[in-house]
Structure 1
Amino acid sequence: MLTQAADAVWGGRPGAPRGSLEMYVKRTPGADLLAHTGVHRVFAMQVGREVRVMVLPELVDDVQAQVVAWDVAKQVEEELTYSGQIRVTVVRESRAAEYAR
């Protein structure tokens, strides 16, 4: 029991070795996470403590972005074993640039 507690503390600290989340994100491109409408890319960030989901702004509005975040968080909860918590961030961004000559 003490070993399990130590392992949970070790895995939950900043700078912990890469864990199952990175392997999960690498394993699933084009599959479960990308199956959501408008999802463009998925990244594991901050040593596996954050999943960043990039969506296409023309296909996903603000409400749908929240739904995607909730769906991905539920999917991570159900399919992974980890200590602490994993933050799911959906990025919906559009940019416009012009140059003055």
Structure 2
Amino acid sequence: MTERFRIRLAAALGTLALAAGGAVIAAPAAHATGSECANLIAGSNPGRSSTDVNISCTVGSLGITKVSDAGCNTLLTQLSQVSAAKAASACTAARN
């Protein structure tokens, strides 16, 4: 396992843990799904891994304002190597 991959994996798992903890505390009703977000990312690059994008978009759709936005953006830009602009658009789609 390369060092860069370990750093990305640690960031992704840490963000996911924060998002899950926030979901338990706030327990909002999640109205959005991550499908709009995942479709936006997949449309720009069909060969991209769907697992990490789906996790990122699911975090973005949790409905916990700061945690969902930060988690979605961090996972997409750091783990999935999506541009910041594309990640922001996709996370907004997940939230709505």
Q: TM-score, normalised by structure 1?
A: 0.31
With structure 2 as the length reference, what TM-score do the two structures score?
A: 0.32
